[in-house]
Amino acid sequence: MEFRPSSPEVALEVRSYFVRGRNALLTRGQFGDLFVDYYLHLADLQCQQADREDRIFKQCLVALTLHCAARPWNETIAWTLNFQAPLLNVFVHGSNPLGTVVGRCFSEDVLEGEKQFFFADLARQGQLPHRSSLNFEGDNGFRAAETYYRQSEQRLGRFFELDDEEYLFLSAQPDCDQAWLESLSLEQAYLLEQEEELSFLESRHYRWECGCSQEKLMAVLAPSMKSQAEDLFGPESSLRLSCPRCGARHLITRETLEAFLRKAS
């Protein structure tokens, strides 16, 4: 199957370049419109996040998106990060085949512990999924992602926040100038196009989209409904469920789920 970018009529364009002489891959994008979609999603959920939680989530979302744009077209990637200060779980998901990113964070019922955990899940068509895990420190999503690169990718990765909600990511390629990448400052990152020789590679487009639906959730519930309907619903006539990927709320009635099962049989 050949993977192609999604339609350019989407919120975010990520451009990638090869930094000649340094052997590094650069991905960069202006995330303002994607953040607007994220805030509209929160408004639909009637949810408001604290400033610190909002900052951490957006850092993780940006890092995951720029990481996806630096990866092969057939990969779908999910990161789950457990922060202890503040006590927060962040989930971000990106699909290169679909050109979508989505995520959520929550501060209720978060596991407390001495260490912070980062789980990275990778799926490629026709291959078994892969998971890696590591510990990280601090409350910065970019620094957490850089730790992931050092420990799991076994190479350097650096994230920089520029002006006007523009971000860039540099990842080491074979024979990379490690000392240059390690010591690169924010001021130097601003001047990359002037100071370094960049070769444009491609543009990829991403939109905020989960794809969850009542039908998909009912398909997940169907086996339990067939075998233990009374345990599933108890005395209630409906279930209120939240999508684990985006937090969207869905109401599924027993009558609707029974009709779904009859139609599927």
Of 248, 218, 216, 246, which Cα lies nearest the Cα of 232? 218
Judgement on whether residues 128 and 192 belong to the same structural domain of the protein: yes
Judgement on whether residues 59 and 85 belong to the same structural domain of the protein: yes
pLDDT of residue 67: 98
Query: Does residue 6 fall inside a structural domain?
Result: no
Query: Does residue 196 fall inside a structural domain?
Result: yes
Statement: residue 4 has pLDDT above 60: no
Statement: residue 41 has pLDDT above 60: yes
Q: 208, 231, 248 — which closes off a domain?
A: 208
Please report which helix (H) or strand (E) contains residue 172, including its range. strand 166-172
pLDDT of residue 13: 97
Kindly state the percentage of the chain with pLDDT values over 90: 70
The pairing of strands 100-106 and 87-95 is antiparallel
153 or 254: which leads in pLDDT: 153
**Phi, psi dihedrals of residue 173, rounded to the nearest 5°:** -110, 170
Judgement on whether residues 17 and 141 belong to the same structural domain of the protein: yes
pLDDT of residue 232: 83
Query: Does residue 116 fall inside a structural domain?
Result: yes
Q: Structure pTM?
A: 0.90
Query: Does residue 41 fall inside a structural domain?
Result: yes
Of 39, 33, 34, which Cα lies nearest the Cα of 54? 39
The CA–CA distances, whole Å, from 131 to 12, 42, 66, 117, 213 equal: 27, 29, 19, 13, 26
Read off the pLDDT band of 64 (50, 70, 90): very high
Mean pLDDT of 144-165: 97
The amino acid occupying position 76 is: T
Statement: residue 10 has pLDDT above 60: no
Partnered with residue 76 across adjacent β-strands are 95, 123
pLDDT of residue 259: 87
- 241: domain CATH number is 3.90.1280.10
Judgement on whether residues 221 and 198 belong to the same structural domain of the protein: no
pLDDT of residue 2: 38
Judgement on whether residues 166 and 58 belong to the same structural domain of the protein: yes
Judgement on whether residues 24 and 119 belong to the same structural domain of the protein: yes
CA–CA separation, 165 and 29 (whole Å): 9
Statement: residue 177 has pLDDT above 80: yes
Query: Does residue 200 fall inside a structural domain?
Result: yes
Domain holding 106, by residue range, is 12-208
Query: Does residue 224 fall inside a structural domain?
Result: yes
Judgement on whether residues 62 and 88 belong to the same structural domain of the protein: yes
Judgement on whether residues 229 and 189 belong to the same structural domain of the protein: no
Query: DSSP 3-state assignment of 123?
Result: strand
Read off the pLDDT band of 9 (50, 70, 90): low
pLDDT of residue 244: 83
Residue-wise pLDDT tens digits, 206-234: 999 998 888 888 888 888 888 887 878 88
Judgement on whether residues 182 and 225 belong to the same structural domain of the protein: no
Contact 121, 130 (CB under 8 A): yes
Instruction: Tell me the Cα Rg of the chain.
Output: 21
Query: Does residue 1 fall inside a structural domain?
Result: no
Read off the pLDDT band of 254 (50, 70, 90): confident
Q: 208, 231, 252 — which closes off a domain?
A: 208
Contact 96, 4 (CB under 8 A): no
Judgement on whether residues 197 and 238 belong to the same structural domain of the protein: no
Mean pLDDT of 143-159: 97
Query: Does residue 3 fall inside a structural domain?
Result: no
Read off the pLDDT band of 5 (50, 70, 90): very low
- 61: domain CATH number is 3.55.30.10
101 or 244: which leads in pLDDT: 101
Judgement on whether residues 166 and 234 belong to the same structural domain of the protein: no
Q: Is 171 exposed, middle or buried (0-12, 13-18, 19+ CB in 10 A)?
A: buried
Q: 163, 184, 208 — which closes off a domain?
A: 208
Residue with token string 């996040």: 49
Query: DSSP 3-state assignment of 96?
Result: coil
Of 45, 7, 80, 96, which Cα lies nearest the Cα of 212? 45
Domain count, the chain: 2
**Phi, psi dihedrals of residue 41, rounded to the nearest 5°:** -65, -45
Judgement on whether residues 130 and 252 belong to the same structural domain of the protein: no
Mean pLDDT of 97-104: 96
Statement: residue 28 has pLDDT above 50: yes
CA–CA separation, 116 and 136 (whole Å): 6
